[in-house]
Chain A
């Protein structure tokens, strides 16, 4: 589904990603782990098409379609969803209005009919139950005055509403207490299906107890230095990143 080949990315003349290769198939969950500053969020942002990143080499395709040529909204309509590490506030725009616009843009792109207010409301109520989000939050302006946990839950609610093909979760666990973490993870798990894929970007292993990945990749200094199954995350938790970034023996590469 998602194919990243030999991806090089610069930010203001500094090389951040140095030849990333990643193959994600439908139905899979991949975790990207790594120390601070290793390039995890850069990878997430480049997939979503954020400005300010210069791709100097390589390719990123989604089901064979070149993503790098598209602007962010086109990628979103093709099925790329980024759950933000720091969701922004949009004063005066209600969550419901925002989501109705977004959903209908995506539906239009897929050749589906736009949902009218009534059907949208019905659909939204259904998804609200899945994520256990409060009605009050829905009618409030997007993320305005939300607590950290509420913002993250709102991201997962949007994920459920928009049903993308590829979900990239950027540090979704940061700032969450254990109860919120469980709720957010349940939202992601119920999203998982044979037809979509999830990339979980995280610093800590904790989240992966709840969203169990099929593969774990370790990103250090702009390169994936080790890949493995879910047990790799536990090993990292135990030994720390130094174990991989300063290997005593042979260099590990993928």
Chain B
């Protein structure tokens, strides 16, 4: 048995297949963080004055808290040296691309290799992509087609230039720069990300997606995404991410804000596959992300679905603020940790409006020597009559060297509220494995089968293509997890 396990563990060495590096000429600014750097980033991006002012305000706020990196999460890592990070790296190219033909072929090849075709004619119909490479958006597909419907889908940099009134109105309105440590940092140095506006009554006819790629060594990625669905609008949005294999830790501190007005629906799905580090825990991405959606209007709905398999450390709580009466917030999550990965992830559901509903389904899977925590808050304010919440929080352990932790917080200030919390912790039993193997199914396939069965409730929420992708990803992440 032990030799078998060793063989299986060898497999983990080749598991991360997105670990290649693109050799491309890059415009890199010096390491470090100060006002000059922020001014440099802003000028690189030809930003208007108001944007720079906003950045500097955020930076000044960050300076007041810079020594108070959050320590409440159930994660351990050496202190991040914020002066040792490159805050802007971009492939050298003309600042504005008129068409895809002008995109560096190396970049196209990179995304092709990642399974993301930026050639519109080759794309599966129904998915528009914004491709972000290090600090900048490379290209956004299907922009023209979408604009016919009044939908704006572009990089954040373009939005700042072309739609300043929208950006001014919404940026920081859900996650203010004072919100938390990494949100303040992001607000000061964010480089790019996606922007989307769905006008009144428009149902976005295709899936929108952003693909994030960190390439340059020593850089941090600080993307900023803003999605707005106006009255009655609908959009389904996907994001994916990968990074090269490196023995250093790279920081990814993103902020995502969603705003849903009356009767609008936003579905936001993530398949996070940042480089997780090697078996010994060397290298990997620190994924410290703030994601929040505001259900501002009546009957609005925001659904977060996430499959988190990558990153050395994940610190992430996609949340919903249910302001509008009858609004609905949902959170479906699969978080997998293997080897020495750490995850502290969950959600916050803040019930403010009447008859608001929220659903939380969290499936944590820990293998190897990893640590996986669910942290969640359900808060019902005193005016939120008839609020409903259902939480299902399951942890699955593979092997006996990993940990699973649950930190649920429930605060109810209105006695008409109904809040349910169910939690289970289970282990992939030797008995379950033996049962499947006795029927001719290999050990690896048996684990995948058990884990996929366990995650079914979440995968069901993903768009079809992504669900298949997620299942594959899960099996790669868990390769060699039994020891």
Residues in B with CB closer than 8 Å to A106 are 440
User: What separation, in Å, do the CA atoms of A158 and B439 have in the docked complex?
Assistant: 9
Could you give, for residues 143-186 of chain B, a 1 whenever the CB lies within 8 Å of some chain A CB and a 0 otherwise?
Answer: 00000000000000000000000000000000000000000000
What's the Cα separation between A55 and B455 when bound, in Å? 37
Which of A76-84, A180-188, A241-249 has 4 or more CB atoms under 8 Å from chain B? A76-84
A71 with B4: CB separation less than 8 A: yes
Partner of B430, one of A51, A73, A81, A90: A51
Once the chains are docked, how many angstroms separate the CA of A101 from the CA of B448?
A: 12
Known: A48-B434, A73-B438, A76-B438. 10 other contacts (CB 8 A): A71-B4, A72-B437, A73-B442, A77-B440, A81-B438, A82-B438, A90-B453, A92-B456, A93-B449, A98-B436
Q: Are A101 and B449 in contact (CB under 8 A)?
A: yes
Chain A residues close to B by CB (< 8 Å) = 48-52, 71-73, 75-77, 80-82, 84, 87-88, 90-93, 97-99, 101-103, 105-106, 109, 141, 158, 162
Q: How many Å lie between the Cα of A72 and that of B443 in the bound state? A: 9
Nearest CB on B from A94, distance (A):
8
Interface 0/1 of B198-234, CB less than 8 Å to A: 0000000000000000000000000000000000000
A92 contacts B453, CB within 8 Å? yes
- Judge whether A90 and B442 touch: CB under 8 Å: no
Q: Which B residues fall within an 8 A CB radius of A?
A: 1, 4, 429-432, 434-443, 445, 449-450, 452-457
Residues of A with C-beta under 8 A to B439: 76, 81, 98-99, 102, 105, 158, 162
Q: A51-B430, A71-B4, A98-B449 are in contact. Are A92 and B438 (CB under 8 A)?
A: no
Q: Looking across the interface, which residue of chain A has its beta carbon closest to that of B455? A: A92
Beta-carbon contact of B1 and A87 below 8 Å: no
- The answer to whether B453 and A50 touch across the interface, beta carbons within 8 angstroms, is no
Instruction: Decide if B450 touches A93 in the complex (CB within 8 Å).
Output: yes
Check A92 against B454 for contact (C-beta < 8 Å).
yes
Query: Residues of B contacting A98 with CB < 8 Å?
Result: 436, 439, 441, 449
Contacting pair B436 A50 (CB below 8 A): no
A44 to chain B, nearest CB (A): 11
Q: How far is the CA of A99 from the CA of B450 in the complex (A)?
A: 14
Would you give 11 A-B contacts (Cβ < 8 Å), ordered by A? A51-B1, A73-B442, A75-B438, A77-B440, A88-B431, A91-B454, A98-B439, A101-B445, A102-B436, A109-B440, A162-B439
Q: Give Cα A142 to B295, complex, Å.
A: 39
Among A75, A81, A101, A109, the most chain B Cβ lie within 10 Å of the Cβ of A101
CB closest residue in chain A, given B450: A90
Residues from chain B with a CB closer than 8 A to the CB of A50 are: 434, 438
Q: Is the CB of B450 within 8 A of A51?
A: no
Chain B residues within 8 Å of A75, by CB? 438
A123 to chain B, nearest CB (A): 16
Cross-chain contact B437 with A101 (CB below 8 angstroms): no
